[in-house]
Amino acid sequence: MDNSQYLDVFIEESRENLQSLNSMLLSMEEKGFNEGSMNEAFRAMHTIKGTAGVIGIPPIQELAHVLEDLFDVLRKRGEIPDRSVTELLFTGVDRIERMLDELEVSGSVQSSIKDLAARIKAAVEAPAPPVPASSGSADAGGEEEITIEPEELERMVEVLPEGARMVIMSITWTPNLKFKEGRAYQVSKALAPLSSLLASSPDMAEVSDADEGLILVLGTTSADDELLTPVRGVTGVAEVKLHPVALPGRDPSPAAPAAPAEAPSEKRSEPPAEAPEHAVENGEGEEKRAALTNSSSIRVKSKLLDKLLDLVGEIMINNIRINQIANDLKNRELKQTLQNNSRLMGEMQDIVLRTRMVQVDFIFKRFPRIVRDLALANGKEVDFIMRGTDIEIDRSLLDDIGDSLVHLLRNAVDHGIESKEERVAKGKNPRGTIILSAFQEQSNIIITVEDDGRGLDLEKIVSKAIGKGLVKPEDVARMDDRAKMQFVFLPNFSTAEKVSDISGRGVGMDVVKTKIEGLGGFIRLDSTLGKGCKITLKLPPSMSIIRAMLIEVNEEKYAIPLENVRETVRVPMSAIHAVIDRGMFQLRDEVLPVLNIRSEFGSPDGSVDEMPAVIVEKNDSRACLLVSRLIGQQEIVVKNLGKDLRQTGYFSGATILGDGKVAMILDVGAFT
């Protein structure tokens, strides 16, 4: 069977499982052993192994299999593994991730796992006993006693059906048996009409091929033979025994045949595991199909959503054009119909945009592992805190800012956070703190990266800038602290003493600034020497469809993103004063630089008393743009520009207006 059609789903789901594994290992390092988390990690690796086997990816299946065995050993021990074993688990997770990358690019896996698999196998030791020993015993006929913890026994007695007795069933699997999870499911199905499952070891949802047997605690009114016979008929069961449990005031002897007693499923201590997809047989398919139809969500390729949004944009452009024609024709009935059509299109656009929204945790969840590895490589201790992970953002924007956030986190660990010795000498906590936050401000998404490290040394930055010839010493005196910080965003600017594999190569902040501004956002830098640094990214809700202010300059129409528009005014020409070869205009208590776009775009200045103007803002800088005419606000569809037009510096994109003509979108950053 050709399983290539399932590769995309396998890769995506496996990456999600690997992320869960990373989170669990990081939590274990920080907080210690947690049985629930370890069981979750085991299940995640078990899923990767099983699915890789079904679709035929042997290297991933084999590596996941030995990792699953190691997780099984660790969860049965119930203790934190030493650093070497933890690093081995991280290495195994990373290797599977690299193999998934290979699979996505070439459709096959080339990596060798032989050496790594051998190291993992060497770390696997004999599994712990399946049931912990304590009080509340069951006679095993001279064999090793199987006992139950008193607290567990008391809990199970509370849910034991009226008139039922409690028994322990011990099952031994045949040697080298495969797919024990499916066999365990068949056992539970065989016992369901005859008994209530009170507990199991291992948990029915966590049975693995590494287990030698299965222990079930049952509540039943059925005779022993009625319980043993159907279980013996399950393929793979080598031996099955019953051990009665003596309970105060109850007779542990086998009951006479009676009607099956089954406790309500919600009272069961451990519910039976769901059947794996490939274990559905003997008429159970209908139940499985019914479960599948209850799903409230489906996976959709992001490229299809991108295409859908492009189509919505094209329809919007056509709709604007039709509305313009209707206005020219002055047909009332046509205009009313088009108004209804515009409303429906607005709803469709909103749904498509919301469909593309994902929580920032989609990309944030891989950062704890990155920070952990960076801190370890630098010999630093860092507490990494994430806030607002449930904030939603356009998927395309989130994908684009991923690398930028990695740059910022690397800088925070490498340059920001001091060494333990340096922090102690300053009276700080030896453990540094990095906080990654996301929150919504009006329609924009704000993401901040904040650390409590050494902060920016402005004297060092200015000295470096002067040394590179970027600024003259006499000009520095006129610059405020925020202006001095902007040198950090220049290409090839770095104050690092040495070049490392992590950062300090003279690239990073300029790349981040270019990327964020290219997405229609802006970046802000705040820092206090000795206390830390905070970088704020402000992003639009979507890059594809935005609201804009339409203006006219020299009989050509242009658009300015409404996000950058603060207000519109009329400026008397007599109020513009020349200061150092540049016009300045005082608006209330603020003095703004003035740019006459008419003359900038080639039209000679005319003799007018006043001109309409747009007050624009970007990166905390404002300017006054003189234009020919203000047209009004409109929702526009953003189209990307070719390389030549982008290099002019004036334009960030283009759009098509209702009359079918192209309007350039002004890049406000070029004028502020």
Q: Which has the higher per-residue pLDDT, 578 or 169?
A: 169
Residue 471 has pLDDT above 50, yes or no: yes
> Residue 614 — φ and ψ, nearest 5°?
-115, 125
Pairing type for strands 432-441 and 444-451 reads antiparallel
Say what the alpha-carbon torsion angle 501, 503, 505, 511 is, to the nearest 10 degrees: 130
pLDDT > 90 in the chain, percent? 13
* pLDDT band per the 50, 70, 90 thresholds, residue 413: very high
pLDDT > 70 in the chain, percent? 82
Q: Which has the higher per-residue pLDDT, 570 or 317?
A: 570
d(CA 240, CA 215): 10
- Strand order, beta sheet including 590-596: 565-572, 610-618, 621-626, 590-596, 582-587, 576-579
d(CA 455, CA 533): 5
Which residue, chain included where needed, has tokens 């604007």? 320
| Coil/strand/helix, residue 529 | coil
3-state secondary structure 96-124: HHHHHHHHHHHCCCCCCCHHHHHHHHHHC
Residue 417 has pLDDT above 90, yes or no: yes
d(CA 346, CA 357): 17
d(CA 60, CA 53): 8
pLDDT tens, 343-356?
888 788 778 877 87
d(CA 632, CA 466): 45
pLDDT for position 429 = 92
Which residue, chain included where needed, has tokens 């109020």? 575
Contacts 24+ apart (CB under 8 A), 88-95: 88/119, 88/120, 88/123, 89/21, 89/25, 90/22, 90/25, 90/369, 91/116, 92/63, 92/66, 92/67, 92/116, 92/120, 93/18, 93/21, 93/22, 93/25, 93/67, 95/63
Question: Which residue, among 521, 566, 559, has the nearest Cα to 637 in the 3D structure?
Answer: 559
pLDDT tens, 265-299?
333 333 333 333 333 333 333 333 333 334 456 66
Q: Which has the higher per-residue pLDDT, 630 or 399?
A: 630
Mean local confidence (pLDDT), 36-54: 84
Highest mean pLDDT, choosing among 59-68, 148-157, 288-297: 59-68
- So which residues are the catalytic ones? 46, 68, 411
pLDDT for position 496 = 59
Highest mean pLDDT, choosing among 19-23, 54-58, 530-534: 530-534
pLDDT for position 519 = 79
pLDDT tens, 634-647?
888 777 776 666 66
Question: Which residue, among 378, 373, 379, has the nearest Cα to 91 in the 3D structure?
Answer: 373
pLDDT for position 3 = 56
| Coil/strand/helix, residue 611 | strand
Q: How far apart are the first and last CA of the chain?
A: 61
- The answer to whether 133 and 152 are in contact (CB under 8 A) is no
Q: Which residues share a beta bridge with 318?
A: none
**How high does pLDDT run on average in the chain?**
79
Which residue, chain included where needed, has tokens 């189209």? 639
pLDDT for position 606 = 62
Mean local confidence (pLDDT), 138-153: 58
> Residue 557 — φ and ψ, nearest 5°?
-95, 140
